[in-house]
Structure 1
Amino acid sequence: MPRELDEDDVRIRPGRGSRPRTRQRPDHAEAVPAVVVGVDRGRYSCRPQPWPDRLVAAVRGGSMRRTSVVVGDQVALVGDLSGTDGVLARLVRREERTSVLRRTPDDTDPAERPIVANADILVIVCAVTDPVPRPGLIDRCLVAAYDGGLAPVLCLTKADLADPETITELYRPLGFPVVATRPDQDLTDLHSLLTQRVSVLFGHSGVGKSSLVNRLVPAADRAIGEVNAVTGRGRHTSSAAVALRLPAGGMVIDTPGIRSFGLGAVSPARVLSAFSDLAAAAAYCQPGCEHLAPSADCALDSAVTGGGADAARLASLRRLLAARATPL
């Protein structure tokens, strides 16, 4: 006779939770180091260091799914590294970043968005004319460079159409390189700054950034747009950041053209830290001093009067601080 069923006969399975099945995580000692050279909809194009001519598609795996990964990041890969179409490797580790270029959606949003990691140089590309220069945007890029640990370079394109000296004079007190380029001249000066370094090109649409990349890396074949005659603005021809190898060594990262640059997460102290000659004098300012204008409470003016600081450097610092606080 069949027996009567009771609760002991009911199989109860635990619900699926988000906790890992074990606390012991693999160390992935066999993982291969690589650099991220492109990002597209959750897929990461990586160049494994043992095979510099191979591109491997990868996805973030396991504990990396909530870790930000951008172009320039040094990562570790496991799985199929053959680079065959349709095959994906797993990205299991991101190494410590040496620098990071980031911005916020706008000045009121403190959420930083990393754009490029581990770059040595930020090349701020600005046209001398067509479209007209936007010093406010250049200043914001400088703030982001100093804040992120990148050395700035200002590249003035279309120097054959107008004199670049006015813009050059504005930024000469800051002491970083300013290079003017023309279509009928080579890029020797720019090449000497970028060779064997990791650099990122940044600028708003229509300034000739893609044309510059094509001259630096002839095999890049980046799309080139035109400036709208009515609005004076260019259209986006690059949709995502991509890293390209320079023929003489090093890497240049092309980024999409921008219309704005939010600095909501950058504090005045982080901007001031880039001016080591002024930061020491600022220690004598009254608490809460913003260093934006001459005042009895700002020790920077006294430092200039006493010969301990340069007036042009102080004017540049205040312009950058004002750019951080003034919407474009």
Structure 2
Amino acid sequence: MTTGRGAGRYSDHDVEHYDRPRRSTRPRTKERPSYDDAVSARVVTVDRGRFTLLVGEGAGATKVMAMKARPLGRKGVVVGDRVRVVGDTSGADGSLARIVEVQERSTTLRRTADDDDPVERVIVANAEQLVVVTALADPEPQPRLIDRALVAAYDAGMAPLLCLTKADLADPETLLSTYRSLGVPWVVTRRGGDLAEVRERLSDRTSVLVGSSGVGKSTLVNALVPTAGREVGIVNAVTGRGRHTSTSAYMLALPGGGWIVDTPGIRSFGLAHVQPEHLIEAFPDLDEMTEDCPRGCTHGSDEPECGLDEAVAAEQADPERVASFRRLLAARSVSDY
């Protein structure tokens, strides 16, 4: 019998020497399930890792609860995403489906918590229009917040729309004069007023409503979608700020066609992700005038030899429009509204 430190654990006569289980030799595969049976759906709200989806279109759509499949990893799923799901899509109580694919987004509305925060947060996907809702009074308008929302819209490739509420309390012309040179369309509403123009602007489009708390977003949503049941808040008489009534983004189908996304009231809109060259592209007439700008020109008011200044001097550009664009450009780094 062999002994000592160099001896093997088993001798030739040990049963374990022959019966020791071998490692599995089954080859691994990189193939993934095809999910041929997956159905298309739209994400309407997100709540702590659970997703509410609509499967189907129109009145026949089914509301389905789902989780994200593990193979998606850290890939984000947000309101407005078009996804493919498998599992129980009946919508019955207690049923749960799995999101297995997020389809390519046509637009992505982003913001950062602060201007020096490198982490982007996607608010909504696949929206065509950003509706900036602001009250003309109670609370007072916040032009810098409006500017920042407009910058985010232009950067995302979305059409902007100003929705001025509470016109029964203040004249909208004072605020409109600030944005008229930018060519931003607008609608004006008042308590109990006709919403025909608003409905026309929203019809057959997917629109995101953003604005501070207390400006009337939830009131507007309830008027547009009577079954929405969004909670309505009030404005604090001391601080002049509204109370957050919406805690998460929620997508709703409009009775006449189209979708609206109601978002929680915002008090900051970080724009660390926005680059000047992307912003100028939203204004083709001004962009054309910057072709001969020096390399690295941001097109701001303090840039030497900027093509915008030369165009204004040659009376080829509207000075007010250039000034308004530069105000939006400056809004990227001015957040004390």
- TM-score bucket (shorter structure): over 0.9
Map 1:59-208 onto structure 2 (within 5 A): 59-208=67-216
Map 1:194-273 onto structure 2 (within 5 A): 194-273=202-281
Partner of 2:56: 49
Partner of 2:37: 30
In 2, the alpha carbon distance for the partners of 1:56 and 1:81 equals: 6
Map 1:287-302 onto structure 2 (within 5 A): 287-293=295-301, 295-302=303-310
Q: Secondary structure at the match of 1:239?
A: coil
In 2, the alpha carbon distance for the partners of 1:168 and 1:63 equals: 49
Q: Which amino acid aligns with 1:22?
A: T
The one of 274, 289, 313 aligned to 1:281: 289
Question: In the TM superposition, what whole-angstrom CA distance separates every residue of 1:85-144 from its partner, at most 9, and x where no partner exists?
Answer: 111111111111111111011100122111101111110000101111111000000010
Q: Which amino acid aligns with 2:242?
A: G
Q: Secondary structure at the match of 2:149?
A: helix
Q: Secondary structure at the match of 1:189?
A: helix
Identity %: 54
Please tell me whether Structure 1 or Structure 2 has the larger radius of gyration of its CA atoms.
2
Q: Which amino acid aligns with 1:30?
A: D
Partner of 2:9: none
Q: Secondary structure at the match of 1:325?
A: coil
In 2, the alpha carbon distance for the partners of 1:252 and 1:304 equals: 39
In 2, the alpha carbon distance for the partners of 1:150 and 1:50 equals: 23
* 29-38 or 211-220: bigger deviation: 29-38
Question: In the TM superposition, what whole-angstrom CA distance separates every residue of 1:136-169 from its partner, at most 9, and x where no partner exists?
Answer: 0000000100111110000011110111111111
RMSD: 1.8
On the 8 A contact 2:144/2:335 being kept in 1, the answer is no
Question: In the TM superposition, what is the alpha-carbon distance from 1:11 to its structure 2 partner?
Answer: 4.6
CA distance change for structure 1 residues 261 and 297 in 2, over 3 Å: closer, same or farther?
Answer: same
Q: Secondary structure at the match of 1:55?
A: strand
Map 1:295-310 onto structure 2 (within 5 A): 295-310=303-318
On the 8 A contact 1:38/1:45 being kept in 2, the answer is yes
Question: In the TM superposition, what whole-angstrom CA distance separates every residue of 1:160-213 from its partner, at most 9, and x where no partner exists?
Answer: 011111111101111121111101311111110001111110001111110010
In 1, the alpha carbon distance for the partners of 2:236 and 2:105 equals: 38
Question: In the TM superposition, what is the alpha-carbon distance from 1:8 to its structure 2 partner?
Answer: 6.0
Question: In the TM superposition, what whole-angstrom CA distance separates every residue of 1:46-83 from its partner, at most 9, and x where no partner exists?
Answer: 11126743101111113223211111111111111100
Question: In the TM superposition, what is the alpha-carbon distance from 1:287 to its structure 2 partner?
Answer: 1.8
On the 8 A contact 1:294/1:301 being kept in 2, the answer is no
In 2, the alpha carbon distance for the partners of 1:8 and 1:210 equals: 74
In 2, the alpha carbon distance for the partners of 1:272 and 1:87 equals: 48
Question: In the TM superposition, what is the alpha-carbon distance from 1:306 to its structure 2 partner?
Answer: 1.9
* 95-104 or 46-55: bigger deviation: 46-55
Q: TM-score, normalised by structure 1?
A: 0.93
Q: Which amino acid aligns with 1:173?
A: S
